Protein backbone atom coordinates (compact mmCIF):
# COMPACT_ATOMS: atom_id res chain seq x y z
CA UNK A 1 0.00 0.00 0.00
CA UNK A 2 1.28 3.44 -0.90
CA UNK A 3 -1.01 5.36 1.48
CA UNK A 4 -2.86 4.13 4.54
CA UNK A 5 -5.16 6.82 5.89
CA UNK A 6 -7.90 6.49 8.48
CA UNK A 7 -9.83 8.00 11.34
CA UNK A 8 -10.34 5.22 13.90
CA UNK A 9 -12.99 5.25 16.64
CA UNK A 10 -12.07 7.57 19.51
CA UNK A 11 -13.44 5.27 22.23
CA UNK A 12 -16.08 7.80 23.29
CA UNK A 13 -19.16 5.59 23.01
CA UNK A 14 -20.34 6.26 19.45
CA UNK A 15 -22.86 3.87 17.92
CA UNK A 16 -20.17 2.07 15.90
CA UNK A 17 -17.82 1.27 18.79
CA UNK A 18 -17.67 -0.45 22.15
CA UNK A 19 -16.36 1.71 24.96
CA UNK A 20 -13.16 0.22 26.35
CA UNK A 21 -10.77 1.01 29.17
CA UNK A 22 -8.11 3.28 27.69
CA UNK A 23 -5.23 0.71 27.95
CA UNK A 24 -7.40 -1.86 26.17
CA UNK A 25 -8.28 0.65 23.45
CA UNK A 26 -4.62 1.52 22.90
CA UNK A 27 -3.74 -2.19 22.67
CA UNK A 28 -6.48 -2.67 20.08
CA UNK A 29 -5.11 0.24 18.05
CA UNK A 30 -1.62 -1.21 18.35
CA UNK A 31 -2.72 -4.43 16.66
CA UNK A 32 -4.19 -2.55 13.72
CA UNK A 33 -1.30 -0.09 13.38
CA UNK A 34 1.25 -2.91 13.42
CA UNK A 35 -0.44 -4.64 10.47
CA UNK A 36 -0.80 -1.37 8.59
CA UNK A 37 2.90 -0.63 8.89
CA UNK A 38 3.69 -4.16 7.75
CA UNK A 39 1.57 -3.69 4.62
CA UNK A 40 2.99 -0.25 3.80
CA UNK A 41 5.34 0.09 0.84
CA UNK A 42 8.88 1.35 1.35
CA UNK A 43 7.96 4.71 -0.21
CA UNK A 44 4.57 4.85 1.47
CA UNK A 45 2.88 7.01 4.09
CA UNK A 46 0.51 6.32 6.94
CA UNK A 47 -1.84 9.04 8.22
CA UNK A 48 -3.72 8.52 11.50
CA UNK A 49 -6.41 11.17 12.05
CA UNK A 50 -7.63 11.36 15.65
CA UNK A 51 -9.19 13.66 18.22
CA UNK A 52 -9.57 13.35 21.98
CA UNK A 53 -10.72 10.56 24.25
CA UNK A 54 -12.94 12.08 26.94
CA UNK A 55 -13.50 10.49 30.34
CA UNK A 56 -15.56 12.31 32.99
CA UNK A 57 -14.68 15.68 31.52
CA UNK A 58 -10.95 14.96 31.26
CA UNK A 59 -9.48 14.75 27.78
CA UNK A 60 -6.68 12.49 26.55
CA UNK A 61 -5.20 13.58 23.18
CA UNK A 62 -5.15 10.34 21.21
CA UNK A 63 -2.28 11.38 18.97
CA UNK A 64 -0.08 11.67 22.05
CA UNK A 65 -1.35 8.36 23.44
CA UNK A 66 -0.77 6.52 20.15
CA UNK A 67 2.55 8.07 19.13
CA UNK A 68 4.71 5.57 21.12
CA UNK A 69 3.18 2.72 19.08
CA UNK A 70 4.41 4.24 15.83
CA UNK A 71 7.76 5.08 17.41
CA UNK A 72 8.28 1.44 18.40
CA UNK A 73 7.58 0.42 14.81
CA UNK A 74 10.39 2.69 13.54
CA UNK A 75 8.30 4.86 11.25
CA UNK A 76 9.25 8.51 10.84
CA UNK A 77 6.91 11.32 11.86
CA UNK A 78 6.91 13.94 9.09
CA UNK A 79 4.13 16.22 10.29
CA UNK A 80 1.59 16.61 13.04
CA UNK A 81 -1.14 18.32 11.03
CA UNK A 82 -3.78 20.28 12.90
CA UNK A 83 -7.20 20.16 11.23
CA UNK A 84 -9.26 23.15 12.37
CA UNK A 85 -13.03 23.37 11.93
CA UNK A 86 -15.67 25.71 13.32
CA UNK A 87 -18.65 23.54 14.21
CA UNK A 88 -19.21 20.90 16.89
CA UNK A 89 -20.46 20.33 20.40
CA UNK A 90 -20.62 23.38 22.67
CA UNK A 91 -18.90 22.74 26.00
CA UNK A 92 -19.93 24.48 29.22
CA UNK A 93 -17.04 23.46 31.52
CA UNK A 94 -14.10 23.73 29.10
CA UNK A 95 -13.33 25.38 25.78
CA UNK A 96 -15.17 23.72 22.91
CA UNK A 97 -12.97 21.41 20.83
CA UNK A 98 -12.44 22.78 17.33
CA UNK A 99 -9.50 20.82 16.03
CA UNK A 100 -8.22 17.31 15.50
CA UNK A 101 -4.84 16.06 14.34
CA UNK A 102 -3.32 13.94 11.61
CA UNK A 103 -0.08 12.12 12.37
CA UNK A 104 1.79 11.59 9.10
CA UNK A 105 4.49 8.91 9.16
CA UNK A 106 6.66 7.42 6.43
CA UNK A 107 8.25 4.00 6.43
CA UNK A 108 11.61 5.21 5.11
CA UNK A 109 13.35 8.43 4.09
CA UNK A 110 12.60 7.66 0.44
CA UNK A 111 8.93 8.63 0.39
CA UNK A 112 6.52 10.21 -2.10
CA UNK A 113 5.65 13.85 -1.53
CA UNK A 114 4.06 15.91 -4.30
CA UNK A 115 3.66 19.51 -3.16
CA UNK A 116 2.47 21.18 -6.38
CA UNK A 117 -0.98 19.49 -6.57
CA UNK A 118 -1.89 20.71 -3.07
CA UNK A 119 -0.53 24.25 -3.10
CA UNK A 120 -2.92 26.98 -1.96
CA UNK A 121 -3.18 30.61 -3.16
CA UNK A 122 -0.39 32.93 -2.15
CA UNK A 123 -1.19 35.59 0.44
CA UNK A 124 0.87 38.19 -1.43
CA UNK A 125 1.17 37.01 -5.06
CA UNK A 126 2.51 40.40 -6.13
CA UNK A 127 5.36 40.46 -3.62
CA UNK A 128 8.86 40.96 -5.06
CA UNK A 129 12.45 40.61 -3.86
CA UNK A 130 13.67 44.00 -2.70
CA UNK A 131 17.43 43.36 -2.71
CA UNK A 132 20.08 41.03 -4.06
CA UNK A 133 20.40 39.43 -7.48
CA UNK A 134 16.64 38.83 -7.70
CA UNK A 135 15.58 42.36 -6.76
CA UNK A 136 12.41 43.29 -8.63
CA UNK A 137 11.48 39.70 -9.46
CA UNK A 138 8.39 38.06 -8.00
CA UNK A 139 9.35 36.12 -4.90
CA UNK A 140 6.47 33.64 -4.68
CA UNK A 141 5.78 30.40 -6.51
CA UNK A 142 3.12 31.11 -9.19
CA UNK A 143 1.51 27.74 -8.47
CA UNK A 144 0.78 28.77 -4.89
CA UNK A 145 2.28 28.22 -1.47
CA UNK A 146 2.76 25.22 0.80
CA UNK A 147 -0.49 24.76 2.77
CA UNK A 148 1.46 24.33 6.01
CA UNK A 149 0.45 22.07 8.87
CA UNK A 150 -2.68 23.97 10.01
CA UNK A 151 -5.58 23.11 7.72
CA UNK A 152 -8.92 24.91 8.00
CA UNK A 153 -11.44 22.64 6.30
CA UNK A 154 -15.16 22.52 7.20
CA UNK A 155 -16.21 19.37 9.00
CA UNK A 156 -19.21 17.40 7.79
CA UNK A 157 -22.31 18.55 9.67
CA UNK A 158 -26.02 18.55 8.83
CA UNK A 159 -25.89 21.16 6.02
CA UNK A 160 -22.71 19.83 4.39
CA UNK A 161 -23.20 18.59 0.83
CA UNK A 162 -21.44 15.30 1.69
CA UNK A 163 -23.48 14.42 4.81
CA UNK A 164 -24.67 10.82 5.16
CA UNK A 165 -26.15 8.88 8.07
CA UNK A 166 -22.66 8.17 9.40
CA UNK A 167 -22.22 10.31 12.54
CA UNK A 168 -18.50 11.05 12.15
CA UNK A 169 -17.43 11.09 8.52
CA UNK A 170 -14.54 13.27 7.49
CA UNK A 171 -14.64 15.60 4.46
CA UNK A 172 -13.42 14.38 1.09
CA UNK A 173 -11.16 17.39 0.59
CA UNK A 174 -9.22 16.54 3.76
CA UNK A 175 -8.26 13.15 2.33
CA UNK A 176 -7.85 14.46 -1.22
CA UNK A 177 -4.96 16.63 -0.04
CA UNK A 178 -3.22 13.58 1.45
CA UNK A 179 -3.92 11.41 -1.59
CA UNK A 180 -2.57 13.98 -4.04
CA UNK A 181 0.51 14.72 -1.96
CA UNK A 182 1.52 11.18 -0.99
CA UNK A 183 0.59 8.99 -3.97
CA UNK A 184 0.86 8.81 -7.75
CA UNK A 185 -1.88 7.84 -10.19
CA UNK A 186 -2.52 4.10 -10.04
CA UNK A 187 -1.27 3.73 -6.44
CA UNK A 188 -3.25 1.95 -3.73
CA UNK A 189 -4.94 3.77 -0.83
CA UNK A 190 -6.20 1.73 2.14
CA UNK A 191 -8.44 2.64 5.09
CA UNK A 192 -8.73 0.08 7.94
CA UNK A 193 -11.73 1.91 9.44
CA UNK A 194 -13.56 2.78 6.23
CA UNK A 195 -16.83 4.12 7.63
CA UNK A 196 -18.69 6.08 4.94
CA UNK A 197 -16.01 5.36 2.34
CA UNK A 198 -14.44 8.81 2.13
CA UNK A 199 -10.87 7.53 1.71
CA UNK A 200 -11.76 5.40 -1.31
CA UNK A 201 -13.87 8.23 -2.74
CA UNK A 202 -10.88 10.58 -2.53
CA UNK A 203 -8.67 7.93 -4.14
CA UNK A 204 -10.83 7.07 -7.14
CA UNK A 205 -11.61 10.73 -7.84
CA UNK A 206 -7.92 11.16 -8.61
CA UNK A 207 -7.26 7.95 -10.53
CA UNK A 208 -5.92 5.97 -7.59
CA UNK A 209 -7.12 2.56 -6.41
CA UNK A 210 -8.83 2.22 -3.04
CA UNK A 211 -9.57 -0.52 -0.52
CA UNK A 212 -10.89 -0.58 3.02
CA UNK A 213 -12.25 -2.58 5.94
CA UNK A 214 -15.60 -2.02 7.63
CA UNK A 215 -17.77 -4.31 9.81
CA UNK A 216 -20.99 -2.25 9.96
CA UNK A 217 -23.39 -3.32 7.22
CA UNK A 218 -25.15 0.05 7.06
CA UNK A 219 -21.88 1.88 6.56
CA UNK A 220 -20.78 -0.62 3.91
CA UNK A 221 -23.95 0.18 1.97
CA UNK A 222 -23.35 3.93 2.30
CA UNK A 223 -19.72 3.57 1.24
CA UNK A 224 -20.57 1.40 -1.75
CA UNK A 225 -23.14 3.90 -3.00
CA UNK A 226 -20.76 6.84 -2.59
CA UNK A 227 -17.89 5.01 -4.31
CA UNK A 228 -20.13 4.11 -7.27
CA UNK A 229 -21.22 7.75 -7.52
CA UNK A 230 -17.60 8.90 -7.37
CA UNK A 231 -16.67 6.50 -10.16
CA UNK A 232 -19.44 7.71 -12.45
CA UNK A 233 -18.83 11.36 -11.60
CA UNK A 234 -22.15 12.10 -9.90
CA UNK A 235 -21.05 12.32 -6.27
CA UNK A 236 -21.44 15.81 -4.81
CA UNK A 237 -18.44 16.99 -2.80
CA UNK A 238 -17.11 20.28 -1.52
CA UNK A 239 -14.38 21.45 -3.95
CA UNK A 240 -10.86 21.70 -2.55
CA UNK A 241 -10.33 25.26 -3.77
CA UNK A 242 -13.57 26.70 -2.39
CA UNK A 243 -13.00 29.43 0.24
CA UNK A 244 -14.41 29.01 3.74
CA UNK A 245 -17.96 30.33 3.89
CA UNK A 246 -18.16 33.79 5.45
CA UNK A 247 -21.73 34.58 6.58
CA UNK A 248 -21.07 38.32 6.83
CA UNK A 249 -19.71 38.51 3.30
CA UNK A 250 -22.68 36.43 2.16
CA UNK A 251 -25.01 39.02 3.69
CA UNK A 252 -27.04 36.67 5.86
CA UNK A 253 -29.25 38.37 8.44
CA UNK A 254 -28.26 35.78 11.05
CA UNK A 255 -25.03 37.70 11.68
CA UNK A 256 -27.05 40.59 13.15
CA UNK A 257 -27.85 40.09 16.83
CA UNK A 258 -31.57 40.79 17.38
CA UNK A 259 -30.85 42.47 20.73
CA UNK A 260 -28.72 45.05 18.89
CA UNK A 261 -31.50 46.10 16.54
CA UNK A 262 -32.97 49.45 17.71
CA UNK A 263 -36.64 49.33 18.60
CA UNK A 264 -39.07 51.39 16.52
CA UNK A 265 -42.26 52.94 17.92
CA UNK A 266 -45.46 53.53 15.98
CA UNK A 267 -44.97 57.28 16.36
CA UNK A 268 -41.69 57.10 14.44
CA UNK A 269 -43.34 55.58 11.37
CA UNK A 270 -45.33 57.59 8.85
CA UNK A 271 -47.85 54.99 7.69
CA UNK A 272 -51.42 53.85 8.53
CA UNK A 273 -51.98 51.86 11.74
CA UNK A 274 -53.22 48.82 9.78
CA UNK A 275 -49.90 48.59 7.95
CA UNK A 276 -48.03 48.92 11.23
CA UNK A 277 -49.89 45.95 12.71
CA UNK A 278 -49.19 43.92 9.59
CA UNK A 279 -45.50 44.91 9.76
CA UNK A 280 -45.33 43.92 13.42
CA UNK A 281 -46.84 40.48 12.80
CA UNK A 282 -44.57 39.90 9.81
CA UNK A 283 -41.53 40.79 11.90
CA UNK A 284 -42.57 38.44 14.69
CA UNK A 285 -43.14 35.64 12.18
CA UNK A 286 -39.73 36.21 10.60
CA UNK A 287 -38.03 36.10 14.00
CA UNK A 288 -39.90 32.95 14.96
CA UNK A 289 -38.93 31.21 11.72
CA UNK A 290 -35.33 32.39 11.93
CA UNK A 291 -35.57 34.50 8.76
pLDDT-based confidence at residue 224 (cuts at 50, 70, 90): very high
Domain for residue 11, yes or no?
yes
Same domain, yes or no: 149 and 284: no
Share of the chain above pLDDT 90, in %: 57
Same domain, yes or no: 188 and 96: yes
Res 248: pLDDT: 81
Res 275: pLDDT: 53
Domain for residue 60, yes or no?
yes
Domain for residue 239, yes or no?
no
Q: Is the Cα torsion angle 22, 23, 27, 33 positive or negative in sign?
A: positive
Helix (H, G, I), strand (E, B) or coil at 23: helix
C-beta atoms surrounding 253 within 10 Å: 10
Same domain, yes or no: 56 and 161: yes
Query: Which range of residues forms the domain containing residue 284?
Result: 253-289
Per the structure, how many domains does the chain have? Answer: 2
Same domain, yes or no: 277 and 137: no
Pairing of the two strands 58-61 and 188-191: unpaired
Torsion of CA 247, 252, 258, 260, to 10 degrees: 70
pLDDT in tens, 226-239: 999 999 999 999 88
Same domain, yes or no: 61 and 202: yes
Domain for residue 258, yes or no?
yes
Beta bridge mates, 81: 102
| φ, ψ dihedrals at 138, nearest 5° | -65, 135
As to burial, measured by CB atoms within 10 angstroms (0-12 exposed, 13-18 middle, 19+ buried), residue 32 is: middle
Same domain, yes or no: 223 and 267: no
Domain for residue 224, yes or no?
yes
Contact 43, 108 (CB under 8 A): yes
Domain for residue 246, yes or no?
no
Same domain, yes or no: 121 and 154: yes
Helix (H, G, I), strand (E, B) or coil at 48: strand
- Please give the span between the terminal C-alpha atoms of the chain, in angstroms, as a whole number: 50
Q: Please list, in sequence order, all residues whose beta carbon lies within 8 angstroms of the beta carbon of residue 26, skipping any fewer than 6 positions away.
A: 65, 66, 69
Beta bridge mates, 76: 106
Same domain, yes or no: 84 and 198: yes
Same domain, yes or no: 275 and 224: no
Q: Say how far apart CA 242 and CA 169 lie, in whole Å.
A: 19
pLDDT in tens, 108-128: 999 999 999 999 999 898 898
pLDDT in tens, 160-194: 887 888 878 889 999 999 999 999 999 999 999 99
CATH number of the domain residue 34 falls in: 3.40.50.150
Mean confidence (pLDDT) of the chain: 87
Same domain, yes or no: 185 and 282: no
Instruction: Spell 65-89 as b/e; 16+ CB within 10 A means b.
Output: bbbebbeebebeebeebebebeeee
pLDDT-based confidence at residue 272 (cuts at 50, 70, 90): low
Same domain, yes or no: 10 and 135: yes
Domain for residue 248, yes or no?
no
Same domain, yes or no: 137 and 52: yes
Q: Say how far apart CA 168 and CA 60 lie, in whole Å.
A: 19
Domain for residue 242, yes or no?
no
| Strand order across the 188-191 sheet | 150-152, 76-84, 99-106, 45-50, 3-6, 188-191, 209-212
Amino acid sequence: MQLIVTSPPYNIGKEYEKHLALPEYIFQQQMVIRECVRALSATGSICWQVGNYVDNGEIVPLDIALYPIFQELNVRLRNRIVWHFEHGLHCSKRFSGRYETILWFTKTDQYVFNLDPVRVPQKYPGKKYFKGEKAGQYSCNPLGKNPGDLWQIPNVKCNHVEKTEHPCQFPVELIERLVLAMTHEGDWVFDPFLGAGTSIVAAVRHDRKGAGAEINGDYIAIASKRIDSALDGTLKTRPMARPIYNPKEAGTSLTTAPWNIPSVSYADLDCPHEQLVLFERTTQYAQKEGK
